[in-house]
Amino acid sequence: MASAASSPVRVRFCPSPTGNPHVGLVRTALFNWAFARHHQGTLVFRIEDTDAARDSEESYEQLLDSMRWLGFDWDEGPEVGGPHAPYRQSQRMDLYKDVADKLLDAGHAYRCYCSTEELDARREAARAAGKPSGYDGHCRELSAGQVAAYEAEGRAPIVRFRMPDEAITFTDLVRGEITYQPENVPDYGIVRANGAPLYTLVNPVDDAAMEITHVLRGEDLLSSTPRQIALYRALTELGVAKEIPAFGHLPYVMGEGNKKLSKRDPQASLNLYRERGFLPEGLLNYLSLLGWSLSADRDIFTTDELIAAFDLSDVNPNPARFDLKKCEAINGDHIRMLEAKDFAERCRPWLRAPVAPWAPEDFDETKWQAIAPHAQTRLKVLSEITDNVDFLFLPEPVFDEASWTKAMKEGSDALLTTARQKLQAADWTSPDALKDAVLAAGEAHGLKLGKAQAPVRVAVTGRTVGLPLFESLEVLGKEKALARIDAALARLTA
């Protein structure tokens, strides 16, 4: 980035606090954060809460909590403050009013008295005639008499920005040069009839006030860029803005069936990933790949490596596909990368109420510490831990009927009887000895290890799949394991 060297990078993350953050938003936050950190720049966190109908305090708290959980930090914004405070748009209304007045006075904006019905009717007519159907400039040059007549009718005007009658060209940092023709970018509303300023005004006004150098955001906002550039030019003329920022639009994220991942898509909700036990670093690693790559042959990296390598020139403009399987696989790799102690601690929320089905007093810390390393090699997400270790803390295994039917075949009772004898005689301090016991039992019945261990596993853990069996047996202990084999035998012969 040539400009980064000349002026310090100032980027912003500016969500509206409306419900659960979705992964598209997190990807945008991540790219801004990585870009700021890579360039030792400043990340401004701004809350775009001017839509009183949709924004809530609860959503605001949720948003901050999500950002913290992801491990993001910001240099200016809520909680940390900064030279451009306040960072909540709902607390900056005077500024927007002042700028709107200046734009009106200078003729860059005008009052538009058109009613919704009139606008709709004219739009339909334009469409039918095959003409551009955006705002037609009706109120651009109203005479004093027309204004007086509208006012007398009691019409409340909106404020509209006057787009220049010329093409607007800019170089998108991701997409290259883009030109918009004036007929495709009509004059647009910046203040509602009730005086409430719109996103179209407050977002660029704040970017100007906060001296943002690079606007990195989703492709869905690309079409607002020519409007914002025109507004910026007016603000520069009025001395409200200094420099027009560079813009870069990050590619769409596609979900199932190659449709744009929508905010309402359950798979898009950040909370889902938290609840399922994704590690923030695993999730960020995966999300960074939605439009960017570190190198062709490496898709697992730490957040520090991401920051060190992050460059906008590597952002791909093509839509990125969200692949849950890959996301899980990458998360699994990050689970493997944790220190053993850290892994054991991060599993805690899934080892207690309300998630864990066992009584709190039945949880056994020693057994947990003994089994944790065997779980760390297998999990894709932390929430899988509960089902994998419940056999250790529940008085009885939870029999999953499908597993039982699958593992308990004809001859399983004979096999289990032999396995019980061999296990009874084995050395329970060694998983290898337990394996030899089951192996020998299998040989006695003409079964390979895999077939021989299935009924033992189901008898002891309730399931056909799980953590390595012989380590599981060792941690559970001889007495309990043998009692469970007895119970399974009783059930088989009943």
**Residues annotated as catalytic (active site), given as ranges:** 263
Number of residues that bind ligand GLU (CB under 6 A): 7
DSSP string, 245-288: PEEEEEPPEE-GGGPBPPTT-GGGBHHHHHHTT--HHHHHHHHH
Stretch that binds ligand GLU, among 14-22, 241-249, 297-305, 440-448 (CB under 6 A): 14-22
Q: Tell me the closest approach of the beta carbon of residue 313 to Zn ion, in angstroms.
A: 43
CA-CA distance, 361 to 27, in Å (whole number)? 41
**Partner from ligand GLU, Zn ion, none binding residue 139, C-beta < 5-8 Å depending on class:** Zn ion
Stretch that binds ligand GLU, among 11-19, 112-120, 282-290, 470-478 (CB under 6 A): 11-19
Q: What's 179-226 look like in SS3? A: EECHHHCCCEEEECCCCCECHHHHHHHHHHHCCCCEEEEEHHHHHHHH
What distance, in Å, lies between the first and last C-alpha atoms of the chain?
75
Q: Tell me the closest approach of the beta carbon of residue 132 to Zn ion, in angstroms.
A: 16
**Partner from ligand GLU, Zn ion, none binding residue 112, C-beta < 5-8 Å depending on class:** Zn ion
Does position 138 bind Zn ion by CB under 5 A?
yes
Give the list of residues 6+ apart from residue 325 with CB closer than 8 angstroms, or none.
none
Instruction: Select 253 or 489, whichever has its Cβ closest to ligand GLU.
Output: 253
| Residue from 9, 10, 11, 14 binding ligand GLU (CB under 6 A) | 14
**Partner from ligand GLU, Zn ion, none binding residue 114, C-beta < 5-8 Å depending on class:** Zn ion
**Partner from Zn ion, ligand GLU, none binding residue 203, C-beta < 5-8 Å depending on class:** ligand GLU
- Report CA-CA distances (Å) from 38 to 12, 42, 312: 14, 10, 11
The contact pattern for ligand GLU, residues 187-226, with x = CB under 6 A and - = no contact, is ----------------x-------------x---x-----
Q: Tell me the closest approach of the beta carbon of residue 231 to ligand GLU, in angstroms.
A: 12
Stretch that binds ligand GLU, among 8-16, 68-76, 123-131, 350-358 (CB under 6 A): 8-16
| Residue from 16, 42, 50, 59 binding ligand GLU (CB under 6 A) | 16
Does position 112 bind Zn ion by CB under 5 A?
yes
Q: What are phi and psi of 393, to 5 degrees?
A: -115, -10
Displacement of CA 166 from its chain's centroid (Å) = 39
Does position 260 bind Zn ion by CB under 5 A?
no
Instruction: Select 170 or 188, whichever has its Cβ closest to Zn ion.
Output: 188
Tokens representing 255?
A: 């979900």
Q: Tell me the closest approach of the beta carbon of residue 214 to ligand GLU, in angstroms.
A: 11
Pair type for strands 188-191 and 158-161: antiparallel
CA atoms within 13 A on the CB side of 124: 6
Does position 21 bind ligand GLU by CB under 6 A?
no
User: CA geometry: angle at 136 spanning 132 and 138, to 5°?
Assistant: 165
User: CA geometry: angle at 118 spanning 112 and 124, to 5°?
Assistant: 120
Does position 59 bind ligand GLU by CB under 6 A?
no
Tokens representing 80?
A: 């940390």
Does position 48 bind ligand GLU by CB under 6 A?
yes
Instruction: Select 221 or 272, whichever has its Cβ closest to ligand GLU.
Output: 221
Burial label, 216 (beta-carbon count in 10 A; 0-12, 13-18, 19+):
buried
**Partner from Zn ion, ligand GLU, none binding residue 48, C-beta < 5-8 Å depending on class:** ligand GLU
Tokens representing 268?
A: 């898009």
**Partner from ligand GLU, Zn ion, none binding residue 217, C-beta < 5-8 Å depending on class:** ligand GLU
**Partner from ligand GLU, Zn ion, none binding residue 461, C-beta < 5-8 Å depending on class:** none
Residue whose C-alpha is closest to residue 486's, from 426, 440, 424: 424
b/e burial code for range 172-197 (CB count within 10 A of at least 16 → b):
bbbbeeeebeeeebbbbbbbeeeeeb
Q: Tell me the closest approach of the beta carbon of residue 218 to ligand GLU, in angstroms.
A: 7
CA-CA distance, 471 to 203, in Å (whole number)? 58
Does position 15 bind ligand GLU by CB under 6 A?
yes
**Partner from ligand GLU, Zn ion, none binding residue 403, C-beta < 5-8 Å depending on class:** none
CA atoms within 13 A on the CB side of 322: 24
Stretch that binds Zn ion, among 36-44, 133-141, 187-195, 310-318 (CB under 5 A): 133-141
Q: Interface residues with Zn ion (CB under 5 A)?
A: 112, 114, 138-139
Q: Interface residues with ligand GLU (CB under 6 A)?
A: 14-16, 48, 203, 217, 221
